[in-house]
Amino acid sequence: MERFPVRRGFDIEEHLRSAFSDSATQTVRLWFAPDVADRALRELGPCVRAHKTARGGVEISALVWGCEWMSRWILSFGSQARVLGPAELVDAVRKQIAALAEAYAVQRTV
């Protein structure tokens, strides 16, 4: 097991409060099919602010640090996930999809 020196003056509670502050994060609303909802809740962990059964699946409200990473993560669920908001995250997902479509548009030999 690796050990690290204790940082003087470091307050874990203050650090976490700061990391989850309104200025550092944004709230996203996502929908997941029942088959993948447990995975989404597990992977989002403490970022989840609320979740409920809705639209035949699970709607999750979560705090995240950026749309680019979140757009790639949401696509890992394929068609079993949807972004409900904000529009900025919907646009980021669309850009990722367009980039994938372009990458597979022309058959290339490697």
Whether 12 shows a pLDDT value over 80: the answer reads: no
Q: Which amino acid is at 75?
A: L
Q: If you classify domain 25-103 with CATH, what class do you get? A: alpha beta
Instruction: Give pLDDT, residue 6.
Output: 82
* Residue extents of the structural domains in the chain: 25-103
For the chain, percent of residues with pLDDT exceeding 70: 86
Is the preceding peptide bond at 34 cis, omega within 30 degrees of 0?
no
Q: Which amino acid is at 64?
A: V
28 close to 89: Cβ distance less than 8 angstroms? yes
Does the predicted TM-score (pTM) go above 0.95?
A: no
Whether 34 shows a pLDDT value over 70: the answer reads: yes
Instruction: Give pLDDT, residue 18.
Output: 67
